[in-house]
Amino acid sequence: MATFLTLPTDVRDAIIEHVLLARNPAPQSVAEVSPNRYQPNSVDGRYSSGPEFVRLSRAQSVPNDRGLLLTNRQLSLETKAAVTHQRASGRLEHLIDIMVVDDHELWPTWLCIPTATRTIDRLLVTFRVFGARQPARPSAYRWNASPRVIMYGFYFLLQHFLLVEHGNIAVHSLVLDFSDGPEGYPADVSAADWLAIHDEYGPEIPDDVDVTPIVPRPRWIADVLAMYVRSCLAMGDHTAEYGRLFYERLGTITFTANGQQLAHDDLGADIAPMSFTDASETFGHLRPRENRIPAFWIWKTAALQSRRAFGLSTASPVAHPPDEVSTAGLPPARRSLRQLLSRLVEVARRLRLRRS
């Protein structure tokens, strides 16, 4: 009787490739997945803000190659070879679907995890819209002029995926796709109309007001999210605290909508010339002010080491701190923590080189 290992090699390779790239169907309705959702806590994202705008799935995410690797030695070797081949051909893509529910919550679902890896080649994240804002709920986009679900919810998910769910990982190419669904949208409604309701009615939409919440186009959400991501990447006074993770763990980030590229950032090219000399321009979350510029340069050094350890590219030349900037003004505990981080990253890099 024929077994899998007695099949011709090319047939086995085709089957393994099919298993690696197999995708689960995306949820078709909120009701379909609602019973399996829960609100995470800060431990799931290592950040105190954002969990209230996220509903994670209770289903366990299992890499497609898990069973193949555990069957026997020969199949394990063939599966690893297939992963290497798919990676070299640029086809090893991870896929997450995110439902934007009631214009308020983000419901992520893993659709494809080809293999467990320390550095993902390409992570495609699709955003789909399900419903308009509930009048009794506060706006998720405007609250005292601060972003909520788009900034904190997205940032929480970024931390959850990169730092918690699959351990410490990085992504070469992060693609965020916002494409309209088949249902269509009213032609006489604009993004300005949608945001105007959020701006005007932050806490809630009163019952005595003749206002109908608008179902947003995914493209509108893309524009808002792209704006806040750009502010994070600027590493400004109020955004450096959030921008750090992008530079430490991402190669590039791309926004697409309906088949068109909206924005693209090469973080390796952006971080190389980055330089600050004015304490009012970056790391505003640190006190006292004189710690900010030394802390920025310490962070940049550690971030570049992190990028090397994960195999993320960095452009050249790289701007270095002026001679007069040192870590002498930082508290000893902070200096030792940064030095320890640098040593750990360097050890990881050496281990990676030895294994290769």
The pLDDT value given to residue 356: 45
The pLDDT value given to residue 354: 47
Q: What is the 3-state secondary structure (H, E, C) of 36-47?
A: HEECCCHHHCCC
Nearest to 164 by CA among 311, 33, 26, 51: 51
> Residue 236 carries which DSSP code?
-
> Residue 291 carries which DSSP code?
G
Q: Where are the domains of the chain?
A: 16-271, 289-356
The pLDDT value given to residue 350: 52
pLDDT (average), residues 46-51: 70
pLDDT at 182 > cutoff 80: no
The pLDDT value given to residue 337: 43
Q: Alpha-carbon distance 310 to 158, whole Å?
A: 17
Q: How far is CA 341 from CA 67, 229, 245, 294, 336, in A?
A: 35, 26, 14, 16, 9
How are beta strands 93-101 and 105-112 bridged, if at all? Answer: antiparallel
The better pLDDT of the pair 341, 300 is held by 300
pLDDT at 335 > cutoff 50: no
Nearest to 36 by CA among 95, 93, 92, 108: 108
The pLDDT value given to residue 111: 97
pLDDT at 62 > cutoff 50: yes
Mean pLDDT over each residue of the chain, to the nearest integer: 87
> Residue 134 carries which DSSP code?
P
Residue pLDDT, tens place only, 192-214: 999 999 988 888 999 999 999 99
Local confidence band at 355 (pLDDT 50, 70, 90 cut-offs): very low
Q: What is the DSSP string of 260-278?
A: EEEEEEEHHHHHTT-----
Q: Which residue has the tokens 């790239």?
A: 21
pLDDT at 45 > cutoff 60: no
The pLDDT value given to residue 49: 72
pLDDT at 183 > cutoff 80: no
pLDDT at 190 > cutoff 50: yes
pLDDT (average), residues 36-41: 91
pLDDT (average), residues 328-337: 46
pLDDT at 345 > cutoff 90: no
Local confidence band at 336 (pLDDT 50, 70, 90 cut-offs): very low
Q: Which residue has the tokens 């697409």?
A: 256
Q: What is the CA radius of gyration of the chain?
A: 23
Which runs of consecutive H residues, i.e. helices, occur in the chain? 9-20, 30-33, 66-71, 73-88, 154-159, 191-200, 218-233, 240-249, 267-271, 292-310, 332-355
How many other C-beta atoms are found inside a 10 Å radius of the C-beta of residue 183?
A: 7
Residue pLDDT, tens place only, 73-84: 999 999 999 999
pLDDT at 34 > cutoff 70: yes
pLDDT (average), residues 172-188: 84
The pLDDT value given to residue 232: 93
pLDDT (average), residues 31-48: 79
pLDDT (average), residues 102-131: 95
The pLDDT value given to residue 140: 87
Q: Alpha-carbon distance 294 to 283, whole Å?
A: 10
Relative orientation angle of helices 292-310 and 240-249, to the nearest 10 degrees: 20
The pLDDT value given to residue 272: 97
Residue pLDDT, tens place only, 259-308: 899 999 999 999 999 999 999 999 999 989 999 999 999 999 999 999 99
Local confidence band at 148 (pLDDT 50, 70, 90 cut-offs): low
Local confidence band at 145 (pLDDT 50, 70, 90 cut-offs): low
Local confidence band at 258 (pLDDT 50, 70, 90 cut-offs): confident
**Rounded to two decimals, what is the model's pTM?**
0.87
pLDDT at 256 > cutoff 70: yes
pLDDT at 185 > cutoff 60: yes
The pLDDT value given to residue 334: 43
